[in-house]
Chains A and B, each alone.
Chain A
Amino acid sequence: MSLVSDTTERSLESYRITRSRRNVAWTGAGALVVVVVLALFPYIVYSGTTTIMLQGFIVLTLASMWNLLAGYAGLVSVGQQAFVGLGAYFVLIFAIHGVSPFAALPVAAIGCGVAALPLWWLVSRLRTGYFAIATWVLAATVMLIIERFSSIGGGTGMPLPGLSGFTGTLLTAYTYWIGLAVTVIALATMYILLRGRLGLVLTAIRDDEVAARSSGARVGLARMLVYVVAGVGCGAAGGVLAISQLQVQPGAVFSIQWTAEMAFAAIIGGLGTIEGPILGTAVYMVLQQTLQSYNAWYLIVLGLVAMAVVLIARRGLWGLVDDHLHVRLFPVGYWLWTGERGRRRGERAKGPRHRLD
């Protein structure tokens, strides 16, 4: 076959595989600088700004989780609001029993991860489309069950205790910092997971599930792990939400709006890359701030843009950036260098690099 002859022609050229195109240490240093600068915000800017930033952190965490689910594991879940709500309520429950909400947050997040296991068991056998709606039904069910308990506010919700000892500015600052911490941890976790074995398995599944299974990849386990991690992440975001709003209302924390926002931000930014949600969240924040006075408009525009992205610019905004600049801030793929002269038939004539991810 012609493929054989093509390859043998170039067998003398060397092949090299690297994880990234440029030195990743630069990105690491850059990220550190960004985080430090962000951490200093409460000292530099008004609390109005930090509140907006906090909202951005929540959406970014959520969008990253949705990206992990849909962009990497192929799981379109429209029921992640269940974990947002559970995270908020776990924090509330701990706070009612005297634990500081800030201390309760990590435990609440882990609790959501544990809760994700039975939920996964319920829906994992369903195929894509029905999986999606089932997650929605599950979220609605969780909300209805929680509303039964008047001790945590019933159907109307209740304020979050345990934060009255803080002054206004200090509370805003602490909330901001914990929001920042959650976001950083979420992104870092994604990077580490996807760079390692899980990332390989997920890419294999994405390319060809049958082949992945037959070569030993634990497809079901990988997906479950992703679902649990997403549960933890969304739960953490829900906890931050509870703290930032100082109250927990079922209708607010279990709202489908959260899923809509995280999905649209992830889609617009670009599914399948870690950088995508960052860009998408930025777009979301800009839209939300500019259209704020027009109520539901920002969600309408967001939804329309997301639909357009999915149909046309499939890899989202980051995909456009990536296509032109070949940049990865969080390198989790591989580059194949085939030498300056080699060029396989059908490849774009731009350079000898072939992305393998």
Chain B
Amino acid sequence: MSERTDQQALLEVRDLTVHHGQLRALDRVRFAVFPGEVYAIIGANGAGKSTLLRTICGLHRPTEGSILLDGTDVTGLRPERRATRGIVMVPEGRRLFPSLTLDENLQVGATYARRGPWTTDRVYELFPWMRDRRNQRTAQMSGGEQQSVAIGRALVANPRVLLLDELSLGLAPVVVQRIYGMLPQILATGLTVVLVEQDVSQTLRVATHIHCLLEGRSTLEGRPADVTAEQVEAAYFGLQGSNQLWHGSTRSSRAC
């Protein structure tokens, strides 16, 4: 794990406040993600996790606050411009293109790709089963397979920050484990991952840092090794005394 204090944060979220109409979904959320980390955002349903990712990748406009990529403010950029800069999301529910084949889905992901190690061939190496089914429509595939294709589609764009929104949704635990098992190979190519999950135990196994949200507010931030299960539970469910942001015992520097 890189020492955070002497590096430029790759992705920085500053005082992000987001509304859905009258409803405040996120309230002054802030954190920083450094290269090579697996930064996990956890929380119950409606905590604002997906809204956070959607705002980071540009599908949602914040009311206040900013998002910085490598020190550059990208808050005003449209989603497609952020994607070409390196913020690529695997959206909740996969959202593959139903009328396109597996291969075509990947090709669309590669259309505006940055230069980098990931190509469609490399994705086929990561997921060998895809080669035989490259001309199949993705609508006929299982949830786990679709999730892999969605990840592949994001990878071929050669992102710098890969956003994973609720990978485990609708998938059997075995499948989820297998997919998360791919993470090391993905990280090895120099990516940084920010993921959103409801499945806390899975998250604690793969994440380098966790950040818990409750009703739009940050309630916990730190490294898995530094927090106890009780603390996570309290932050997740909003039990007594946990409405303030709690940091892991080894204080990770907060981006200001």
A and B touch in the complex (CB under 8 A): yes
Interface residues of A, Cβ cutoff 8 Å to B = 1-3, 344-346
Q: Which residues of A contact B142 (CB under 8 A)?
A: none
Q: Which of A1, A344, A345 contacts B215 (CB under 8 A)?
A: A1
**B99 sits at the interface (CB 8 A):** no
Whether a CB of chain A sits under 8 angstroms from the CB of B109 is no
The verdict on B27 contacting chain A, using a C-beta distance below 8 Å, is: yes
- Give the docked Cα–Cα distance between A346 and B21 (Å): 9
* Chain B residue total in the interface (Cβ 8 A): 7
Residue of A whose beta carbon sits closest to that of B21: A346
Q: What's the minimum C-beta distance from B248 to chain A, rounded to whole angstroms?
A: 27
By secondary structure, the A interface counts as: loop
Is B144 on the interface with A (CB-CB < 8 A)?
no
Cα A1 to Cα B22 in complex, Å, equals: 11
* Residues of B1-51 contacting chain A, CB below 8 A: 19, 22-24, 27
Q: Please name the residue on chain B nearest to A344 by beta carbon.
A: B22
B46: nearest residue on chain A (CB-CB)?
A: A1
Q: List 5 A-B contacts (CB under 8 A).
A: A1-B23, A1-B24, A2-B24, A3-B22, A346-B22
Whether, in the assembled complex, B91 has its beta carbon less than 8 Å from a beta carbon of chain A, the answer is: no
Q: Considering the complex, which residues of chain B in the window 134-148 have a beta carbon less than 8 Å from any beta carbon of chain A?
A: none
Residues in A with CB closer than 8 Å to B22 are: 3, 344-346
Q: Is B216 an interface residue (CB 8 A)?
A: yes
Closest to A2 in B: B24
Give the number of A-B contacts (CB < 8 Å): 15
Q: How far is the CB of A12 from chain B (nearest CB, A)?
A: 20
CB under 8 Å from chain A, chain B span 184-218:
215-216
CA distance A1 to B24 in the complex (A): 7
B interface residue numbers (CB < 8 A to A):
19, 22-24, 27, 215-216
Chain B residues, Cβ within 8 Å of A2 = 23-24, 27, 216
Q: Which residue of B lies closest to A345 (CB)?
A: B22
Chain B: which residue is nearest A346 at the CB level? B22
Q: Closest Cβ of chain A: how far from B129's Cβ, in Å?
A: 38
Contacts of B27 in A (CB 8 A): 2
Query: Which of chain A's residues have a CB closer than 8 A to the CB of B23?
Result: 1-3
Note all chain A residues with C-beta closer than 8 A to B24: 1-3
- Given the complex of chains A and B, what is the CA–CA distance between A3 and B23 in angstroms? 6
Task: With both chains docked as a complex, state the minimum distance between the C-beta of B215 and any C-beta of chain A, in angstroms.
Answer: 6
**Docked pose: A31 CA to B216 CA in angstroms:** 53
Of A1, A3, A344, A345, chain B has the most CB atoms within 10 Å of the CB of A1
Return A354 CB to nearest CB of chain B, in Å: 12
Q: What is the CB-to-nearest-CB distance from A31 to chain B, in angstroms, rounded to a whole number?
A: 37
A347 to chain B, nearest CB (A): 9
- In the bound complex, what is the Cα–Cα distance between A344 and B24 (angstroms)? 13
Residues of B within 8 A of A345 (CB): 22
Bound CA–CA A344/B22 (angstroms): 9
**Closest CB of chain B to A56's CB: distance in Å?**
42
Distance of A2 Cα from B63 Cα, bound (Å): 14
Bound-state Cα–Cα, A238 to B27, Å: 59
Kindly provide the distance from the CB of B51 to the nearest chain A CB, expressed in whole angstroms: 13
Q: Residue of B at shortest CB range from A5? A: B24
Considering the chains assembled together, what is the distance between the CA atoms of A166 and B112 in angstroms? Answer: 77
* List of B residues within 8 angstroms of A3 by Cβ: 22-24
List chain A residues, Cβ under 8 A from B19: 346
Closest 9 CB pairs of A and B: A2-B24, A3-B23, A1-B215, A3-B22, A346-B22, A1-B23, A1-B24, A345-B22, A344-B22
Chain B residues within 8 Å of A344, by CB = 22
Instruction: Other than A1-B24, A1-B215, A345-B22, give 12 A-B pairs with Cβ distance below 8 A.
Output: A1-B23, A1-B216, A2-B23, A2-B24, A2-B27, A2-B216, A3-B22, A3-B23, A3-B24, A344-B22, A346-B19, A346-B22
CA distance A2 to B215 in the complex (A): 9
Residue with the greatest number of chain A CB neighbours at <10 A, chosen from B19, B22, B23, B216: B22
Bound-complex Cα distance A344 to B216 (A): 19
Min CB distance A58 to B, Å, is 42
A249 to B24, CA, bound (A): 61
A residues less than 8 Å from B215 (CB atoms)? 1
- Identify the closest chain A residue to B19 (Cβ): A346
Shortest Cβ distance from residue A258 to the other chain B in the assembled complex, whole angstroms: 40
A2 to B26, CA, bound (A): 10
Chain A residue at smallest Cβ distance from B24: A2
Contacts of B216 in A (CB 8 A): 1-2
Complex-state Cα separation, A344 to B27, whole angstroms: 17
Give Cα A2–Cα B216 distance, bound, in whole angstroms: 10
Measured CA separation A2–B20 after assembly (Å): 12
User: Closest CB of chain A to B48's CB: distance in Å?
Assistant: 10
Q: Which residues of B contact A346 (CB under 8 A)?
A: 19, 22
CB closest chain-A residue, reference B27: A2
Query: What is the distance, in angstroms, from A112's C-beta to the closest C-beta of chain B?
Result: 42
CB distance from B224 to the nearest CB of A (A): 29
Kindly state the separation between the CA atoms of A346 and B216 in the bound complex, as whole angstroms: 18
CB closest chain-B residue, reference A6: B22
Expressed in whole angstroms, the Cα–Cα distance for A346 and B24 within the complex equals 11
Instruction: For residue B125, give the distance in angstroms from its CB to the closest CB of chain A.
Output: 44
Shortest CB-to-CB span from B52 to chain A, Å, is: 16
Among residues of A, the one whose C-beta sits closest to the C-beta of B23 is A3
Docked complex Cα distance between A48 and B216 (Å): 68
* CB proximity of B169 to chain A, nearest CB, Å: 22
* A1 contact set on B, CB distance < 8 A: 23-24, 215-216
- Chain A nearest CB, measured from B144 CB (Å): 31
**Measured between C-beta atoms, what is the minimum distance from A344 to chain B in Å?**
7
A345 to B17, CA, bound (A): 14
C-alpha spacing A3/B19, complex, angstroms: 11
Bound-complex Cα distance A346 to B22 (A): 7
